[in-house]
Structure 1
Amino acid sequence: MSKKVFAAFAVIFLLLSLVLMLPLMDREERAKRSEAEYLEMFRDVVNIVKQSYVDKVDDKKLMAVAINGMLATLDPHSNYLPATDYTEMKVHMAGAFGGLGIELEMRNGKLMVNAPIEDTPAFRAGIQSGDHIWTIDGKPTADLNINQCVSRMRGTPGTSVTLGILREGKSSPLTFRLVRAIIKTKSLKGRLLEPGYGYIRIGEFQERTGEDFEKALKTLAADNGQPLSGLVLDLRFNPGGLVDQACRVANRFIGEGLSSGVIVTTKGREAAMDRSLTATVGDKEPRYPIVVLINGGSASASEIVAGALQDHKRAVIMGTQSFGKGSVQSVMTLDNGDGLKLTTARYYTPSGRSIQAKGITPDIVVEFAKPAPAKDKQKDAKELEIREQDLDGHMDQAPAPPRPASPAKPHSAPPAKPQQKPSSKELKEQDLLKADNQLARALDLLKGVNLLKASGRR
């Protein structure tokens, strides 16, 4: 082939390449131009609102509303957090702060004490449930919202705050001068339901939940005098929280020898964002039977725990369908100190299931038995249940990733401990079982499993 012919072919190839690339270059240019046009349009609208709206508009408020409006079009869980809300969220998840130890709520515009937290300044001073806090350091609470009131009561440990209290049955206001201390909130509670059978309820996954959970398991075993024969893990109405703490809870029961010890997998838009959280080497709980209770209020991190234990055949899931929040939110700090909570991934159970807008299906469905509400006062209880799939703008499920190897088959649980005569404390727990049919069914199942194993039947 002559040099002239070769050069001609090269020119033709180059021209064809440019022609093929023109649509792509054109699309990129149009996208850039479109983005610039929309930003210019946004600036125009802001200027028009600031100049022509009937009342003067606060710039910061206008921008905050605009940002929230943008995020609201994405999904129900992405949102903008002003500095005060962002700080409050971090304090809440830390589970420790300088304050008085009072659970508060607003009732008809009044700041009311829901309950004092045990072993806190408020509890020791005699603050009572139902007290109306009408002044904080002499300033009325009537015109403040609950966040403003909380902010005034929290502060550096060792400093003081004075509360004016109106109490039913007292003709004059009461005054309490309290010294702030480090308040540690508890995200879980544990007890023995019967000898050998433990119960732990996790209300939310906070920074110390995993550590507190491990301590609670040791305490239950110590109170029992020997390893547990079974455990009820109550995740009902648990809205989620920190995923790493949920994984620490699940880690106590799965991954022996790191045989298929995946707890949860997250997949984002880019492959670089994908990751798997797996069980670690270390002490595990004896392989006693476990029942996990869930309901429509169990969401996010609590669904991670339930899904992992279900896929690894380590627990029986009982109750009703969970909420179905299968998305991961990343919290980012903005330059001005505000926060941005943005959905960045979906999570999957060890078998590759996405629960987004679907939830965890119990192995055994048990509805909570309670008197049906009067039809003329409120809707049927089922009509009041709201799940992820009912939220406007919720994300759909994404295709599941490849399934990992099946987890190892669990070993047999230890035989049940011989029953003893119940104490007065245990009689109170029996009253709890009478009021909670789901918990009673869970305990019956644990005892039945141990009876079958003790008799040699499968």
Structure 2
Amino acid sequence: MSTLRHVKKALMISALLLLLTLSLGGGVASKSNDQAATYENLRLFTEVLSIIQSQYVDEVPPKDLVYSAIKGTLRGLDAHSSFLDPDMYREMGVETTGQFGGLGIEITLKDDILTVVTPIEGTPAFRAGILPGDRIVKIEGMSTKDMQLSDAVKRMRGKPGSKIVISIIREGLNEPKDYSITRELIQVQSVKSGELEPGIEYIRLRQFQEKTGQDVEGALEKYNKGKKIQGLVLDLRNNPGGLLTSSVEVSEKFLESGKLVVYTEGRVRNQNMRFQASGKRTWSDFPIIVLVNQGSASASEIVAGALQDWGRAVVLGTQSFGKGSVQTIIPLSDGSGLRLTTAKYFTPKGRSIHGKGITPDIVVEM
């Protein structure tokens, strides 16, 4: 723990020193051929489904077969597309309102392995010692190989007070390590702020929620009433992301009106969008340091990338996670849904975040 405290202190000192030395200031394909191929493949699927129903050794409910087929299809697309059964679809809203039950852990599939993006600060997973980059190989003794992301999330959530064992592989460990963690009702306070030293404000964003933009504005206003802000450390470490709109709201507080924050590109025209800073008040008269690490993903990378591209901030830390794709939630007729990747994010200068992450201007290993 003393080493960890030393690293954190060194990182903050680096940020402070840097702040104090900065000056102010498609083509269209043949649809008929595609449709013909699709219908032919659907006939094959129906044929296989019929054989399974009539000849498989055990009776399997038709819906279970269809759900499994859908999950397999989506698993073959990318790590972030997934099928949401009716229960999971109903729970979708809790992730952005700041309160839900579970471990407080953000996960993804990386190279087909269930991987921790980051534990959320102050949650059971964080206190247990789960780290960004940890690979989860078992949940309650069940192998996570070929497990869909939404299934893993569902298994890790549960009644507050109940325990769950997850098995972790980590660099430096010779064999999987078991962690027994007690589930809690997760309440995430997205913004934490304070003063590092006179004139230097510190704002820590744990997650991008509906009110994060308002909370950041409130923190800036509150501090500025007492004394003029001379510099800001914006800490996005171990922030797994959240709402795109929230990341835009935070970014535009530090960019001039009309400047591009992020844009998205997809195959469908309505997925090609540009998000620009609005004409609201801009905090532009002090330098900014943005802190990132391996646990900074998605919306965090949008903010870091926008401020970096426009020269509004210096990014300090280690390479970010590299989650730069857009997922659209699509409801289905039986109450289930799809979480489907429909576009990718690009920074104002056209950099793709996906699979690459944000490279800090100054690398400080943690």
TM-score interval w.r.t. the shorter chain? 0.5 to 0.7
Output the amino acid matched with 2:234: L
- The Cα of 1:42 is off from its aligned counterpart by 0.5
How many residues align structurally? 281
Between the aligned partners of 2:308 and 2:281, the Cα distance in structure 1 is 20
Q: 1:212 to 1:184 in 2, by over 3 A?
A: farther
Which residue of structure 1 aligns with residue 208 of structure 2?
205
Between the aligned partners of 2:360 and 2:156, the Cα distance in structure 1 is 41
Residue of 66, 72, 76 corresponding to 1:73: 76
1:273 maps onto 2:285 in alignment = no
Query: Does the 8 Å CA contact 1:227/1:286 hold for their aligned counterparts?
Result: no
Between the aligned partners of 1:289 and 1:318, the Cα distance in structure 2 is 13
Between the aligned partners of 1:61 and 1:186, the Cα distance in structure 2 is 38
Residue of 183, 187, 194 corresponding to 1:191: 194
Equivalent position SS for 1:215: helix
Q: 1:304 to 1:340 in 2, by over 3 A?
A: same
- The Cα of 1:361 is off from its aligned counterpart by 1.0
- The Cα of 1:164 is off from its aligned counterpart by 10
1:264 maps onto 2:262 in alignment = yes
1:291 maps onto 2:289 in alignment = yes
- In the TM superposition, what are the counterparts of 1:51-450 in structure 2 within 5 Å? 51-96=54-99, 185-222=188-225, 225-255=226-256, 258=257, 260-368=258-366
Output the amino acid matched with 1:276: R
Query: Does the 8 Å CA contact 1:190/1:220 hold for their aligned counterparts?
Result: no
Between the aligned partners of 2:363 and 2:158, the Cα distance in structure 1 is 43
- In the TM superposition, what are the counterparts of 1:16-55 in structure 2 within 5 Å? 30-55=33-58
Equivalent position SS for 1:265: strand
Structure 2, unmatched stretches of 5+, are 1-27, 106-118, 129-139, 141-151, 164-184
Between the aligned partners of 1:352 and 1:230, the Cα distance in structure 2 is 28
Which residue of structure 2 aligns with residue 374 of structure 1?
none
- The Cα of 1:86 is off from its aligned counterpart by 2.2
Which residue of structure 2 aligns with residue 442 of structure 1?
none
Query: Does the 8 Å CA contact 1:294/1:322 hold for their aligned counterparts?
Result: yes
Output the amino acid matched with 1:315: A
Q: Which has the higher contact order (CA 8 A, sep 6+)?
A: 2
Output the amino acid matched with 1:227: K
- The Cα of 1:67 is off from its aligned counterpart by 0.8
Which residue of structure 2 aligns with residue 380 of structure 1?
none
Which residue of structure 2 aligns with residue 123 of structure 1?
none
Output the amino acid matched with 1:231: L
Output the amino acid matched with 1:53: Y
- The Cα of 1:216 is off from its aligned counterpart by 2.1
Query: Does the 8 Å CA contact 1:331/1:342 hold for their aligned counterparts?
Result: yes
Output the amino acid matched with 1:240: G
Q: 1:281 to 1:31 in 2, by over 3 A?
A: closer
Equivalent position SS for 1:252: helix
TM-score, structure 1 normalization: 0.55
Between the aligned partners of 1:148 and 1:358, the Cα distance in structure 2 is 29
- The Cα of 1:221 is off from its aligned counterpart by 3.1
Q: 1:316 to 1:47 in 2, by over 3 A?
A: same
Between the aligned partners of 1:249 and 1:104, the Cα distance in structure 2 is 23
Report the more deviating stretch, 46-55 or 358-367.
46-55
Output the amino acid matched with 2:290: V
TM-score, structure 2 normalization: 0.68
- The Cα of 1:152 is off from its aligned counterpart by 5.6
Between the aligned partners of 1:216 and 1:55, the Cα distance in structure 2 is 60
